[in-house]
Structure 1
């Protein structure tokens, strides 16, 4: 029976490739793991005039804010605030006249703050899986010995 000795230099390329991929993605920043939506519009402070409970299917709160030197009314796609609460909102650049659809300033719809770190962890785990696969392929097939037990 021949035993194939696995040498350290067999795994150098997969390990360095995995490290290079993780460092390149980390260095590229949050845009490498998906598009980063830049908030478009003007951030201003508003006062909640009509609160909405979070049990509604599509909660909308009414807010009052000052935009372009005028008092404006907006429909905020949020819930859980109390009447007269102060919130930071983003007013669209082309607000027009009449009620405006506004959003909370610190919220980007569809994305969470953990997207980047979780994506980087998953990428690192996939590099480890690739290195383990390279190790198994380089090691080759092992022969199994069966022991015959007689009583």
Structure 2
């Protein structure tokens, strides 16, 4: 506090916010955001999930939601052949149409484990935009904090 008073007595004011200071802080923040963007999708989200195909299926054996780990049986068409699969879920009606995600390596015969298309990994992923927004916000907060540290404490004037 004494240093600030000494500056004021000597006629020196605390550093002010100039265009140079704002330019350097903005450029540094922009470089951080561009570097994060360039790093790719793995920075704020999981790696690309395995490839899946979305198809329409018919529920052939519905499951009650009162049983734990309920699985329904569905029938769908994949590459011109009719296949059966198990869907981890419950509450659908007999012969109800649902959109499912089928793994691309679903060759062979037998039941295929499928998931609802809206819950498959990678569908409508908002982690990357939210992560970049939070990064920009933290750059701005860091710039404001650095300015407040450089500016130093304010002298309080007594109200007469």
TM-score, normalised by the number of residues in structure 2: 0.69
TM alignment of 1:61-80, pairs within 5 A: 61-80=72-91
> What is the RMSD computed on CA atoms of the aligned residues?
3.2
Which protein has the larger Cα radius of gyration, Structure 1 or Structure 2? 2
- Does the Cα contact within 8 Å between 2:48 and 2:122 map onto a contact in 1? no
Q: Pairwise mapping of residues 40-79 of structure 1 onto structure 2 (< 5 A)?
A: 40-54=51-65, 56-79=67-90
Cross-structure match for 1:5: 15
Query: Please, which runs of 5 or more residues in structure 1 have no aligned partner?
Result: none
- Matched residue pairs, number? 148
Offset, 1:22? 3.2
In structure 2, the partner of 1:107 is 119
Which of 144, 148, 151 in structure 2 is aligned with 1:132? 144
Q: Which runs of 5+ in 2 are unaligned?
A: 8-12
In the alignment, is the contact (CA less than 8 A) between 1:14 and 1:134 conserved in 2?
no
CA contact (8 A) 2:101 2:120 kept: no
**d(CA) in 2 for partners of 1:104 and 1:128?**
40
